[in-house]
Structure 1
């Protein structure tokens, strides 16, 4: 995670810039640099996990609204106790300390805020599940499927044919060694743990490309927005994949100047990360790979001679081999069984305008109806936020089309966009959904990333223009101005993290299933018996049911689309044909 300069070095470029740059400070010695990286990661992870554990002793009744509001209030109070000292020291350092000490403090402050952002969400989930050993969803839906696969693996029945095995293996191991065959209880542990580290891992991935404040500007909003605590591993793969693709493209543009040994090590490291992410969830690779391949071809140094091409081949070959070596179990199953597996499950987002990509309702839309969603916009149905995102895309492409980070975001955006409409356009003919609504998250993520990068590139462009205008008569801006702007911006980001984190946590607090909201999953966790047969502490009316056995999930035998969460009276209007009997 290089601590590079704010401008050109923060977003590496293939071509040498024409504008003169200020002299760069020498990089710290390698052992010291590695120590800083480890310390930064430890701070981010420590704050995220620590805040989640701290929230577990918030004593409220999560099944009543007064208790829920009290829990959210305590979360915000505790978050303020963590954030205010960090921000206070940063503001003091911005006004009183020199640049070197401020930069050192800044990286740890950004790491702490990255951990606190999703720590608030994970802490909210801990409040929502207080009094029950079960995780979100209980034994229903995707949580039940994961538990069934994990117990099947523990019984020696092997892994599923197509579903990525990484999380299932982790859940099985956690159950065996820490939860003693209570796989539903183990799932709760992992939901909380993955939720707590979601922001830190997203931030650390972006630190491989950007300086701390810019990395936080991308990672913090994205982590809170895309964190899905029911199955947090899937979206964790998405938020990490994009910056790692950007890192690969950056290394590709620099391959000609690196020794072969360094290229082998860097390629193997990136490949191991890609392979690990693929084992956790492969969908994002499917939607991103076509565009990434085009980006690799575009940034390959074709005109720099055989030596440069050979080094690029070494980097790409090492990356590919390491990816295959780590992800081989899942890649083999995908190659042998992928074409035989068809997704036919339709939920709320399948029924809405496929060109709407700045919001989603998943399969818990609450009281919303597809005819009233998406919400009305200001210009031809597009909201002001959408227009801001599109302006960011235009600016990023105008200023940074040769930058690897911009190219990576653009490649994933175009690839997911094209495949989204391919699957949507053939849905009726093929009677297959193929998970295409999930590209909404990837598309919105790339749009937001390009927006932040456009601000970075604009700041870089303003600095370059200032140097040109003052070339004959140098006029230096106050050196403290950048520090104070950065510290003030972090205060704004911290306030956003508190508000957005509370919004995200509030969505998953228990609500009656009749409301059909995201809080249904926490409600279900409170309606299952504990290991001793007693009901959870806050079971509704003191009633709960016995958990069922764990069986290996079977592939659906449906040959037509299954309309999830659709009443029989609306079945024909939504999916055609007759509603199912029973």
Structure 2
């Protein structure tokens, strides 16, 4: 037991050390993040550092797979997989460090969701309490960090800057460690690394991390409920209470995923409850469930109270491209900064009834998972959550036009995609385990027939299996390197308001604490630091159609556009004004260069 806990502690420590260490290392990438050539050099520098960290680890893994003992290789594989999970999101956090180089402000500046978070944190800092029904844990942590790190002077945006980077870095270790509760290192890494890279949003890193953690924790909890009769009652109650504390804390951190996961998980819990295993087992399982619900309710009570009191007063009426697109498409998403895309060009139709080759391959893996791995509690959990989120998605979407409310249904895309990925990985794992067992038995029988006796020993040496697994870890590490670079590149500063780079760009246009513009500011007149408290905004009685020009509001939204919506004429006028500004700036620079010539 002590060795087991020692190995687990080492995995956690190594993963966190690599993630946070790489985050700190990226501070030495010295470029101008507002210049594209500087951004490219920064992306290359991050990959260079990642190679310096990752290649020795992979070399050690391959060496022990070929030359080391099974026990030594097992320990090395644990630590290497943990380190690579930390490295994947450490690179993304390093990219955010580079994108925000020279400014203390966060991604998004003071606009949109970051601006709302800053206002909420200011309210906590000024002892005004929770802000509506939004989960309070992250804004409260912002206020606490602003008070500790920045002397409570109100610059909660600086705290958001720090926390965006920190929680982006630790997302990979958290995902990997949660999946290690159920899976061996390689399979845990195979889910954690792609999920962390694909779903992580550095602007709000707390949000999707909850989704990534919630699914394996639900599976782990359901497994314990099903095995309630095997544990002493005291240990069962302690584990139930610990699970309740974790679920309650995640609920306060970000509650949205509970809405989509709860229906399927609740139905599955009824099916997995040990109804026919005797009164004592039923009693133990009931105590386990009751303890979990009670402790989760106590921890999450502040937000639950707000939801009961204010829930009906907070409908979601914000629409963007994902709302206008076919709701049956769940294998991709776009933000409200979708560039030139529109609902007629996105999603791009695939070859088979609109589905791409990736979609068909993923669905094939899902079929393997359901067909070969349904006995595993995590396959059942992912399948149940998928079914519940799928139904909820179309329930809200079908009532959207009548209720004039979106109710965040596009976010089910992420949890549905996550469940499909989980099922596909479990399908691959089941196919490998069953297939290798069948091959081993077949070859052993053939060898026994050839020698005229019972075959002894393994036909396929375990060393070959270890070597193959080590090679697959190397491939997954390469995917992590390329995927993390893709993620970082999206957030490099750009003045295009329809790109994701606008968030980093805005961070460079706000004054620092001393009243000056940031070091690499692209503007001469920077905005003042806002220190407003959160105030509930007006509740409209119609859906706000973001990204739609005024002329298209009647055909898309069914009503005339409000006065502040830009028309095509406004956009063209702004484009011409920007063109003239850039032209005048170039002429001024040329004139200054001519003056300096002898």
Output the TM-score relative to the length of structure 1. 0.93
| C-alpha separation in 2, matches of 1:303 and 1:480 | 43
Deviation at residue 482 of structure 1 after TM alignment:
1.5
Q: Report the counterpart of residue 558 of structure 2 in structure 1.
A: 576
Deviation at residue 64 of structure 1 after TM alignment:
1.0
Alignment partner of 1:182 is 2:150 = no
| C-alpha separation in 1, matches of 2:480 and 2:441 | 38
Deviations 1:285-308 (A, max 9, x none): 011101001111111111111122
2:483 to 500, 503, 518: 500
Q: Report the counterpart of residue 536 of structure 1 in structure 2.
A: 518
Alignment partner of 1:527 is 2:505 = no
- Tell me which moved more, 311-320 or 523-532: 311-320
Deviation at residue 98 of structure 1 after TM alignment:
1.1
2:543 to 561, 564, 567: 561
Following TM superposition, the consecutive aligned residue runs of length 4 or more in structure 1 with deviations greater than 6 angstroms are: none
Deviation at residue 182 of structure 1 after TM alignment:
1.2
Q: Report the counterpart of residue 332 of structure 2 in structure 1.
A: 359
- Tell me which moved more, 492-501 or 324-333: 324-333
Alignment partner of 1:481 is 2:464 = yes
| C-alpha separation in 1, matches of 2:339 and 2:172 | 27
Deviation at residue 309 of structure 1 after TM alignment:
1.0
C-alpha contact (below 8 Å) 1:128/1:522 kept by paired residues? yes
| C-alpha separation in 1, matches of 2:57 and 2:372 | 34
Alignment partner of 1:212 is 2:185 = yes
Q: Report the counterpart of residue 260 of structure 1 in structure 2.
A: 233
Deviations 1:308-363 (A, max 9, x none): 21121122112111211211111221222222220101112111111111111111
Deviation at residue 258 of structure 1 after TM alignment:
1.3
Q: Report the counterpart of residue 312 of structure 1 in structure 2.
A: 285
2:416 to 416, 419, 443: 443
| C-alpha separation in 2, matches of 1:46 and 1:553 | 39
Deviation at residue 541 of structure 1 after TM alignment:
4.5
Alignment partner of 1:298 is 2:280 = no
Q: Report the counterpart of residue 114 of structure 1 in structure 2.
A: 85
Q: Report the counterpart of residue 100 of structure 2 in structure 1.
A: 129
1:82 to 53, 66, 76: 53
Q: Report the counterpart of residue 133 of structure 2 in structure 1.
A: 162
Q: Give the number of equivalent residue pairs.
A: 552
C-alpha contact (below 8 Å) 2:155/2:531 kept by paired residues? no
C-alpha contact (below 8 Å) 2:321/2:338 kept by paired residues? yes
Q: Report the counterpart of residue 227 of structure 1 in structure 2.
A: 200
Q: Report the counterpart of residue 65 of structure 1 in structure 2.
A: 36
- Tell me which moved more, 452-461 or 331-340: 331-340
Q: Report the counterpart of residue 547 of structure 1 in structure 2.
A: 529
| C-alpha separation in 2, matches of 1:56 and 1:189 | 13
Q: Report the counterpart of residue 54 of structure 1 in structure 2.
A: 25
| C-alpha separation in 2, matches of 1:438 and 1:240 | 16
Deviation at residue 484 of structure 1 after TM alignment:
0.5
Q: Report the counterpart of residue 212 of structure 2 in structure 1.
A: 239
Q: Report the counterpart of residue 348 of structure 1 in structure 2.
A: 321
| C-alpha separation in 2, matches of 1:360 and 1:113 | 26
Q: Report the counterpart of residue 27 of structure 1 in structure 2.
A: none
| C-alpha separation in 2, matches of 1:277 and 1:434 | 21
2:75 to 89, 104, 126: 104
| C-alpha separation in 2, matches of 1:212 and 1:269 | 24
C-alpha contact (below 8 Å) 1:118/1:198 kept by paired residues? yes
C-alpha contact (below 8 Å) 1:256/1:311 kept by paired residues? yes
C-alpha contact (below 8 Å) 1:145/1:553 kept by paired residues? no
Q: Report the counterpart of residue 120 of structure 2 in structure 1.
A: 149
Alignment of 1:386-465 (within 5 A): 386-465=359-438
Q: Report the counterpart of residue 591 of structure 2 in structure 1.
A: none
| C-alpha separation in 1, matches of 2:43 and 2:193 | 19
Q: SS of the counterpart of 1:188? A: helix
- Tell me which moved more, 452-461 or 73-82: 452-461
C-alpha contact (below 8 Å) 1:354/1:424 kept by paired residues? yes
Deviations 1:529-552 (A, max 9, x none): 111111111111444222333231
| C-alpha separation in 2, matches of 1:318 and 1:557 | 39
Q: SS of the counterpart of 2:283? A: helix
1:512 to 485, 495, 510: 495
| C-alpha separation in 2, matches of 1:81 and 1:542 | 39
Deviation at residue 174 of structure 1 after TM alignment:
0.6
Deviation at residue 236 of structure 1 after TM alignment:
0.5
| C-alpha separation in 1, matches of 2:314 and 2:23 | 38
1:93 to 64, 80, 96: 64
Query: CA separation of 1:540/1:219 partners in 2, compared to 1, >3 Å: closer, same or farther?
Result: same
Which of the pair has the greater relative contact order for Cα pairs under 8 Å at 6+ separation?
A: 1
Q: SS of the counterpart of 2:227? A: helix
Q: SS of the counterpart of 1:370? A: coil
Structure 1: segments with no counterpart, 5+ residues: 1-29
| C-alpha separation in 2, matches of 1:384 and 1:545 | 47
| C-alpha separation in 2, matches of 1:543 and 1:208 | 52
Deviation at residue 468 of structure 1 after TM alignment:
4.5
C-alpha contact (below 8 Å) 1:48/1:200 kept by paired residues? yes
C-alpha contact (below 8 Å) 2:122/2:531 kept by paired residues? no
| C-alpha separation in 1, matches of 2:537 and 2:283 | 45
Alignment of 1:2-17 (within 5 A): none
Deviations 1:549-571 (A, max 9, x none): 32313143201101122221221
| C-alpha separation in 2, matches of 1:578 and 1:261 | 63
